[in-house]
Amino acid sequence: MSDTLQASRMVSATNRCWTQQVQESPADDRRGSDVAVPVPHEFVHRPMTEDILITSWQRMGHDHFSVIAQWPHNHPYFTPNHGRHHPILAGETIRQAGLLVSHTEFAVPLGYHFILDDIVYTTDPEHRVTGSGPTPVTIDVVCSQTRMRAGALACGNFGMTLRTGGRVVVTGQSHVSVTSPAVYRRIRGERITARPVPGPLPAPVPAELTGSADERDVLLSPTGRPGQWLLRVAPDHPTVVNPANDHVPGLSLLDAAQQAARALTGSASFVPYAFATEFHRYAEHGLPCLIEARRRASAIPGTTTVRVTGVQDGAPVFTSTLTSFAPLP
């Protein structure tokens, strides 16, 4: 699953002090706010400032970094539910931290494409949202299996430990490959010009069934078959769609998976503490993508495990395995 920003310049590691420099600037109209200014959107491939979770970073060793993030409390999409942070917020934080380190510390030029092979994380099921402001998060990033090409990262694994208030709340990892614009054009062919298809959306499943805050955030449309839905993505959704992407973003697929798991179990209390996703191919714009969810035997008593798959044009797109402490209904 590619993650791309349409730009083409090198990033200097001297930008690592961006947050402090902006906050201290008298021209910053947000001075005095308790919300830290995020890093430039180019570093995390997020065009909307409100979607940027990372605020600063620091190199601790050759392949070891400390990254600071904030989890929003009043974000229009990453809305806490039943006192818990949005189920894919941890995954999005891991994704952004990996992109940031790749650009700023491993010399990946902006405009290069990141192919996300997988993302796996486990969260603390007892962690709850506290207070009314953003939650500060410290991320310990350790890079391994790194391979360099022409002085820049070609592929690598990012292992991460996320803490709030000194307490570990997430552990996870993601493996990515990096490709140049020229190679990506050869890979994508005519699809490189594809963009979200405007037009009316199919009917959604009820928002309360998927845990969505709003009907517009529902990523599933009923098919009339138990455990099967069609992927439903609003082409102008400000968070789950990047207008520059030539395919459906991985964020949409992650959230579709957790929505499908909730819809299958029929339980609003199904909040996955373990979430593993493997990406097999690109999810293309304009083609139906079938989302299917099935219960699987769980190795841990008192938990529910759901396997979610995405299939498009007869080929697998992604596979997610989600486990929650929520009991079966």
CB atoms within 10 A of CB 87: 25
Domain edge (last residue) among 122, 154, 186: 186
| Whether the predicted pLDDT of 2 surpasses 70 | no
| Whether the predicted pLDDT of 224 surpasses 60 | yes
Helix (H, G, I), strand (E, B) or coil at 178: strand
Nearest residue to 85 via CA among 138, 35, 134:
134
Domain membership of residue 329 (yes or no) is no
Mean pLDDT taken over the chain: 88
23 and 71 together in one domain = yes
Structure tokens at 86: 């949005």
Check residue 14 and give its pLDDT: 39
Domain membership of residue 43 (yes or no) is yes
Domain membership of residue 225 (yes or no) is yes
How far is 114 from 101, CA to CA, in rounded Å? 12
pTM, to two decimals = 0.89
How far is 264 from 326, CA to CA, in rounded Å? 13
166 and 228 together in one domain = no
Domain membership of residue 224 (yes or no) is yes
Number of domains in the chain: 2
Domain edge (last residue) among 186, 216, 250: 186
Please state which of the ranges 20-34, 134-148, 234-248 shows the lowest mean pLDDT.
20-34
CB atoms within 10 A of CB 11: 20
223 and 297 together in one domain = yes
Residues 6+ apart with CB under 8 A from 108: 11, 102, 114, 152, 153, 178
Residues 6+ apart with CB under 8 A from 115: 1, 2, 3, 176, 177, 178, 179
Please check whether residue 310 is in contact with residue 316, taking contact to mean a CB–CB distance below 8 angstroms.
yes
CB atoms within 10 A of CB 58: 12
Q: What is the average per-residue pLDDT within 137-152?
A: 97
Rounded to the nearest 10 degrees, the angle between the axes of helix 250-265 and helix 89-105 is 160
Percent of the chain with pLDDT over 90: 71
Domain edge (last residue) among 141, 165, 186: 186
153 and 201 together in one domain = no
Check residue 172 and give its pLDDT: 98
137 and 181 together in one domain = yes
231 and 141 together in one domain = no
Q: Quote the strand ranges of the chain, DSSP E.
A: 2-4, 54-61, 64-71, 113-123, 135-149, 152-164, 167-179, 220-222, 228-231, 274-279, 289-296, 304-312, 315-324
Domain membership of residue 95 (yes or no) is yes
* 272 compared with 21, residue with greater pLDDT: 272
Please check whether residue 52 is in contact with residue 96, taking contact to mean a CB–CB distance below 8 angstroms.
yes
Domain membership of residue 63 (yes or no) is yes
Domain membership of residue 256 (yes or no) is yes
CATH number for the domain spanning 210: value is 3.10.129.10
Please state which of the ranges 105-114, 133-142, 196-205, 284-293 shows the lowest mean pLDDT.
196-205
96 and 213 together in one domain = no
145 and 227 together in one domain = no
pLDDT, one tens digit per residue, over 281-301 is 999 999 999 999 999 998 888
Largest CA distance in the chain: 58
285 and 156 together in one domain = no
Domain span holding position 281: 194-324
Residues 6+ apart with CB under 8 A from 298: 304, 305, 323
244 and 181 together in one domain = no
41 and 131 together in one domain = yes
149 and 278 together in one domain = no
Q: What is the average per-residue pLDDT within 147-153?
A: 97
Please check whether residue 212 is in contact with residue 87, taking contact to mean a CB–CB distance below 8 angstroms.
no
Domain membership of residue 307 (yes or no) is yes
What is the band of 327 on the pLDDT scale with cuts at 50, 70, 90? low
What is the band of 79 on the pLDDT scale with cuts at 50, 70, 90? confident
Please check whether residue 141 is in contact with residue 42, taking contact to mean a CB–CB distance below 8 angstroms.
no
Check residue 163 and give its pLDDT: 98
Check residue 326 and give its pLDDT: 56
